Chain A
């Protein structure tokens, strides 16, 4: 089967008709998130779904719906044209119509097929044509959404389905079951007939009793084995799940341990940083930290004051000396002409003098002294001298008081100086040591503050790393990862114990089977005297060997299929991992009858937790192998269709992967957001033509039509563009 063309019309974001022509090899459909890759894939899933008539309105293009007026209608359809023993086409569609109440009605679901006979195109039932050309089981191994769906051994019946579908021989199990039943029935018949033989009765009864006991033991042991196998399987599954998350668990534990250590360190550092400054200032006298500089400033100021005091005292002394000199000079000037001794200044007194002036008579000599006369003027002058003297006396008294009062009554400056001297010397030395101690302590605290800052930053980084880890594992919570980590050890030990128990039981069963075989042999050696019983015995032996042959053929068939699958898978693994470590794929049968895919080193060491890209290429290799086996067994090739299979790949791995898959002779359609580069200028992701041009495959670019409203679905339209 080769897909030729896919046409999607009005399916969700695919407005109108969108046509994709596919190459025989690789076709890449490149689009960013939300551009319509998964919608394309789901359009194919809708087309290939034969289980129901799905004409859900949710599949209708919102843009087209929005355009419809009342009574208008259009069609949603997805069709695929393909080659499968001639040209074929299947088309699924339904009509949608806007009703008068504004609602959308969907109707006229149809699923039709077309086959080309020469020039004639014949319409057939779509479902039948699809099942005839691309049946459900094959489709199961052709369409894969995301990396998670790539593991084909994801359930207990997967191996049986695969073997039945692709080994070339199917339904072996039913034959094995039938032949076991035939053998048991014939055995019962032989035993019953032999018991009728008197000669052999005792031997038969003994062997029957032995056989009954052995069979009981076998039944018990088998039951125990099944229980133990279930336990081992459960342990394996749980351990496998744990191992898948082991990296994340270990990383989380490392990060958490780092966070704890940083928190402890941070708290310890904070103890150094958080100081009780009140207690330190007063109890520990940190308040005196600046004492030396303050003392120095104090002493300098006291020195200045002292100097100023001395200067002022000197000026005062000089002034007093000058005053004293002046007085002496005045006394010299006031001496009389004939050197006679003048009267005291207070004679006659002021009142007498005033009276004589007023009366214009000198009452000392009795002569008149009219106004303007010399005696009158003398008396006036005498009165003025009197008044002047009183004034001078008064000023002198005041001056005398001032002379007595010293300029600096107190010894403050001296006292300050003394204090300065007291504070210097030993006191200053002691307090200076405290300052050094405080400085050392503050320096230490500052260093711890720097440490706190650094540790806080490291703590934040660790918290970020933890958050990042949890974001990268969206399906796992921190509690789950913690539990996984703690469960792993316990589970490993329990699993080992269960495996040992299982081995013991298997040995026991093997011994019992041997015993059973020997009893059977003994039974078979019994010579019946009756001829017909001899024939029954021969029939039983034949059926017993046929039963064994069926069982062994079934085992050989599964083993052969798994070997073939392993070989083919390793062939593709080598191709997909060219130039990189790849390991070896092994498909291991599990005790529950299924299988699991595992990666081993060539020296036999299991790679317990392969990386995302390693795991993806491993699963894809098995898919390619299944596809190849399908081609061999059915003489027909089938396409492989993947939606975003490489999300865990790095850029380099993507390049290698697409180059290799481009060369593989197999029709593949891959929907991907790889091969896009971020364009800084436009702020959008654009095709990486340098890589695309190195590929020979067909490439489509799908993207949202520009100018859409982020909140309005009816403005979203996927534009398809064939690049090459």
Chain B
């Protein structure tokens, strides 16, 4: 049975498929990424993208998402 992807999952897959981003982030896009999996990814770029989408889906403000994102990246990079 085909896996059902949410709108967020589809956005995640579309963004992660970007070649320049994957080179920068040093990951291999699979086209099957999901938000829930990406949020616990060990790759900071994948996780950062997932956090952006997740934040928007959870109605967080831009500032809240930015703060979480920079805190995470500062620690992860």
Which residue numbers of A lie inside 8 Å of B, CB to CB? 168-172, 174-175, 178-179, 181-182, 185-186, 189, 535-536, 538-539, 541-543, 545-546, 548-550, 552-553, 556-557
B35 part of interface (Cβ distance < 8 Å): no
C-alpha spacing A3/B48, complex, angstroms: 46
Question: From DSSP, what is the main secondary structure of chain A's interface residues?
Answer: helix
CB of B9, distance to nearest CB on chain A (Å)? 10
Is A185 within 8 A of B7, CB to CB? no
C-alpha spacing A168/B7, complex, angstroms: 7
Is B20 within 8 A of A543, CB to CB? no
C-alpha spacing A664/B36, complex, angstroms: 41
Cβ–Cβ < 8 Å partners of A549 in chain B: 15-16, 18, 20-21, 49
**The residue from B44, B45, B52, B77 contacting A179, defined by CB atoms under 8 A apart:** B52
Cβ–Cβ < 8 Å partners of B21 in chain A: 545-546, 548-549
Cβ–Cβ < 8 Å partners of A181 in chain B: 62, 66
Cβ–Cβ < 8 Å partners of B45 in chain A: 542, 545-546
| Cβ contacts A to B, 17 pairs, < 8 Å | A175-B53, A178-B56, A179-B52, A182-B62, A185-B66, A539-B77, A542-B77, A543-B73, A545-B21, A545-B24, A545-B45, A546-B48, A548-B18, A549-B16, A553-B11, A553-B18, A557-B14
CB of B33, distance to nearest CB on chain A (Å)? 13
B74 part of interface (Cβ distance < 8 Å): yes
CB of B14, distance to nearest CB on chain A (Å)? 4
Is B48 within 8 A of A175, CB to CB? no
CB of B2, distance to nearest CB on chain A (Å)? 10
Cβ–Cβ < 8 Å partners of A553 in chain B: 11, 14-15, 17-18
B69 part of interface (Cβ distance < 8 Å): yes
Cβ–Cβ < 8 Å partners of B15 in chain A: 546, 549-550, 553
CB of A619, distance to nearest CB on chain B (Å)? 28
Cβ–Cβ < 8 Å partners of B18 in chain A: 548-549, 552-553
C-alpha spacing A556/B45, complex, angstroms: 20
Is A174 within 8 A of B10, CB to CB? no
What are the interface flags for B38-77 relative to A under an 8 Å C-beta threshold, 1 for contact and 0 otherwise? 0000001100110011001000001001100110011001
Cβ–Cβ < 8 Å partners of B20 in chain A: 545, 548-549
**Closest residue of chain A to B44, judged by CB?**
A542
C-alpha spacing A541/B70, complex, angstroms: 12
CB of B51, distance to nearest CB on chain A (Å)? 10
Is B49 within 8 A of A546, CB to CB? yes
Is B53 within 8 A of A539, CB to CB? no
**Closest residue of chain A to B24, judged by CB?**
A545
**Closest residue of chain A to B7, judged by CB?**
A170
Cβ–Cβ < 8 Å partners of A189 in chain B: 70
CB of A355, distance to nearest CB on chain B (Å)? 173
